[in-house]
Amino acid sequence: MVNHPAEYKWSSYAANAQGADTELIKPHPLYQALGMDVASRQAAFRELFRFQLDIGVVDEIRKATNGNYALGNALFVHQIEDALGRRVTAGRAGRPKKILNMLL
């Protein structure tokens, strides 16, 4: 796609990191929490994109997003499962095996 969000025409990066004036983008509360003034918010936002993520991490994020799974360590995953009351990790592929005559 692009090497950096600043290169993507439809990214909010220009507004949030560089102060480009646009009527389409309104400051999000999380963005506003990045700093006490415009300059500090822009600097903090730019810092979020300073380093490129390892391709393995990007793949993990993509798989979790596409599968609607939680991404994190075992404790985090367990907490999310408890909170939601459902599994939040990938299951085994295929149908479950039938268990015949268990009570016999």
60 and 103 inside one domain: yes
Whether 27 and 72 share a structural domain: no
CA dihedral (51, 54, 55, 60) positive or negative? negative
What is the number of domains present in the chain? 2
User: What is the pLDDT at residue 57?
Assistant: 93
35 with 64, same domain: the answer is no
Q: Are residues 72 and 33 in the same domain?
A: no
pLDDT at 102: 57
DSSP 11: -
Structural contact between residues 18 and 6, judged by C-beta atoms closer than 8 angstroms: yes
CA angle 49/33/20 to nearest 5° reads: 55
Are both 61 and 93 inside the same structural domain?
yes
Question: In terms of residue numbers, what domain contains 31?
Answer: 5-48
57 shares its domain with 97? yes
pLDDT 10s per residue in the chain (104 long)? 788 889 998 999 999 999 998 888 899 999 999 999 999 999 999 999 998 889 999 999 999 999 999 999 999 999 999 999 999 998 888 887 777 655 55
